[in-house]
Amino acid sequence: MSVRDTQRSRVYAAEQFVRTLFDRAAGHSSRAIDFFGESITLPPEARFGSVESVQRYVDEVMALPAVAAQWPQRGTLAVRPRRAATAAHYENLSGTGVIAVPQRGAAGWAMRELVVLHEVAHHLDAGDGPAHGPAFVATFCALATAVMGPECGHVLRVVYSKEGVR
């Protein structure tokens, strides 16, 4: 019996808001934004052109010393193409994690660092709770901080809180 994923829509809404912030920052000469009354400079966000480039990125993330130290039982993680352009997803196939990313049509939204890190966080989340529960949220925030920097982790935590995500 699976646990009900009650905050999934709030997690997705928060992350869409964060991606919009990154998109707006990327469109200006300065990456500094006004974030709930404070000035914060967002890091650049990687964009990917192929499933192979996502796989190289995932391999590099998984090899980072900070990731290895925080998640020593992380296991293998592969990336494969997905036909539908409306979603990326994570699955565990006999102990091997697999991220499926769309690569055609309107799939540009998924071929970006924040979406890929969300899927990597599913792989690293060892919690037995819901897929987008508190353990996942904590894992994603820690991973984003380790990979993209403390500003990214801060933005995620604040926006999750504003959306009522635990």
**How would you write the pLDDT of the chain (166 residues) with one tens digit per residue?**
467 899 999 999 999 999 999 999 999 888 999 999 999 999 999 999 999 999 999 999 999 999 999 999 888 999 999 987 778 999 998 889 999 999 766 667 889 999 999 999 999 997 788 999 999 999 999 999 999 999 999 999 999 999 999 9
Instruction: Fill in the amino acid letter for 56.
Output: R
